[in-house]
Structure 1
């Protein structure tokens, strides 16, 4: 029996329905990547109330086409590598898909970071609407997965 453990704000939406897969860690990585790019915490009460939750700000910026506005541009490197930053924002978006079946494996994330693979192009930018995948085959998802499959070849 797996019980819910983790830091609020970093837990994948499927924890609410008790469908736990290897993709919960991918979701958490997406939150951390987003925090690094934006230079702020996932939940920050020092921001105006409508901006407390980084994920909702991120979603709003994708919808408005202003995603670079939330990037921490206090660093010269961030200003110089806008193309790479956009790729990392897409990587974070891929990791933050509410449907865990649409999230990449961590092996795929590593390949994207090493520039050996591209981010999926048909992403859902509605990060605040947790939904279970349509096939809802929880038995398959709860089967132990061998470490060789989880890490996969690089």
Structure 2
């Protein structure tokens, strides 16, 4: 693709080749539409299993193309979930991968949500500070999104606050819904598409327990690492209570 990968545009320091906010928003919408096709419109459901900026290619018009299906899993329409070995990239892996249970297309939804945060900030979700501590962006942004704070403060600093408050707010809310711990609490990609198009409203999301978990367990945090075998050593025990999952759409 003429414009390379999304990764090459987000995580560099060049000032003359910065994706403006409108382009980023259209990229987010384009990826959502691509995942809707894979999950709902193909003859069989295709779970990509490795959605991340490196696997999003951009054509001459910056229209995104989902690439690298080497880890993809094909699921017949008669099945709703599949049990398989863990696959994907840490930092984008849904909790169900780490727990070793059957996965659904909602695993891609989780990865997409993690990537949305990086589209906003222009940085990896996890950054190591000079004092060896870590900053986890989804945790850092939570109070701003939940309390209606200065949403443009979350934008890539290179954009100099040039972005739509409504769109940034919408993307951040969608991202938190996508990374919910409970599979049933995450929206489908068709719902995400409708929200980003503006035809469906999105309610305030709860902050996932895993966001705090990652923030508290930075000593063992490895953000970017390919993995093809089960990672039982980082399984998380969580207590979710008896409350019913909230709905992302209203």
- Normalised by the size of structure 1, how large is the TM-score? 0.70
Distance 1:8 1:39 in 2: 18
Mapping for residues 20-99 of structure 1, pairs under 5 Å: 20-45=103-128, 49-59=132-142, 61-62=144-145, 66=149, 68=151, 69-75=153-159, 78-99=161-182
Between Structure 1 and Structure 2, how many residues are aligned? 133
Partner in structure 2 of residue 8 of structure 1: 90
Distance 1:10 1:32 in 2: 8
8 Å Cα contact 1:27/1:95 also seen in 2: yes
Distance 1:16 1:132 in 2: 15
Partner in structure 2 of residue 141 of structure 1: none
Distance 1:7 1:16 in 2: 11
The CA deviation at 1:18 is 1.8
8 Å Cα contact 2:177/2:187 also seen in 1: yes
Deviations 1:67-86 (A, max 9, x none): 6233224225x524112111
Instruction: Determine which structure has greater relative contact order: mean sequence separation of CA pairs < 8 Å that are 6+ residues apart, divided by chain length.
Output: 1
- Aligned pair in 2 of structure 1 residues 49, 111: CA closer, same or farther (>3 Å)? farther
Structure with the bigger percentage of helix: 1
Structure with the bigger percentage of strand: 2
8 Å Cα contact 1:101/1:133 also seen in 2: no
- Aligned pair in 2 of structure 1 residues 50, 116: CA closer, same or farther (>3 Å)? farther
8 Å Cα contact 2:117/2:175 also seen in 1: yes
- Aligned pair in 2 of structure 1 residues 65, 118: CA closer, same or farther (>3 Å)? closer
Partner in structure 2 of residue 107 of structure 1: 190
Structure 2: gaps spanning 5 or more residues: 1-82, 214-235, 243-250
Structure 1 vs Structure 2 CA RMSD: 2.8
8 Å Cα contact 2:173/2:204 also seen in 1: no
Give 1:117's match in structure 2, choosing from 192, 200, 210.
200
Distance 1:53 1:128 in 2: 9
Structure 1 runs (4+) greater than 6 angstroms displaced: 132-135
